[in-house]
A and B are shown apart, each in its own frame.
Chain A
Amino acid sequence: DAGITQSPRHKVTETGTPVTLRCHQTENHRYMYWYRQDPGHGLRLIHYSYGVKDTDKGEVSDGYSVSRSKTEDFLLTLESATSSQTSVYFCAIGASYEQYFGPGTRLTVT
């Protein structure tokens, strides 16, 4: 998986609780991305980063925030989880135009 790890790999949480997902890369790539994947929707971009402390919103950013304090780590936070945020979350890194994906985190909000 191109030197990308995600943690946790599975998480069950209750509505209203905060949740943080971590993406860690060992490739020293500048670009990092968070996607969610839901049946029938493919992958949708939540947030992305183009450098340390440089982040921006994607297509479905409402209810999510991100932080990148080091090149290798990109954190996705759900401030107050809702059932609609039950999904599989993928982190990706970008070198040129290709992206390389982590193994995913399956999040269930009950």
Chain B
Amino acid sequence: SQQGEEDPQALSIQEGENATMNCSYKTSINNLQWYRQNSGRGLVHLILIRSNEREKHSGRLRVTLDTSKKSSSLLITASRAADTASYFCATDGSGSARQLTFGSGTQLTVLP
């Protein structure tokens, strides 16, 4: 079963616009992470936010976490065509092997 569910499933924007993707999860977490996957490639880690953090920035990425609502959002500012990819949230809970549970992803298309 999927712990995280992304919304929307697909998003198409113009270059230069901001893109916002949302993730909801079901159980308590230690951390929430976002990954990017370009077509035909493996996933690439973008950012991790801990359960006691509310917001985190990394370059053009801004992640928020609301543990009371069990939700997170990923904002990509000033998007570029190269940002076209699928984005996944992943959560980890109490598993000792740091297992991650992934959502089904948001497909972002940035049009030039």
Contacts and interface: CB of A to CB of B under 8 A. Distances in A.
Interface of A is mostly: strand
Given A59-B1, A97-B48, A43 B96 contact: no
Given A97-B31, A98-B33, A90 B42 contact: yes
B2 to A, nearest CB: 6
B105 A42 contact: yes
Contacts of A74: none
Interface of B is mostly: loop
A89 B110 CA distance: 27
Given A31-B97, A90-B43, A41 B31 contact: no
Interface residues of B, number: 24
Interface string B88-106: 1000100011111111110
Interface of B: 1-2, 30-31, 33, 40-45, 48, 88, 92, 96-105
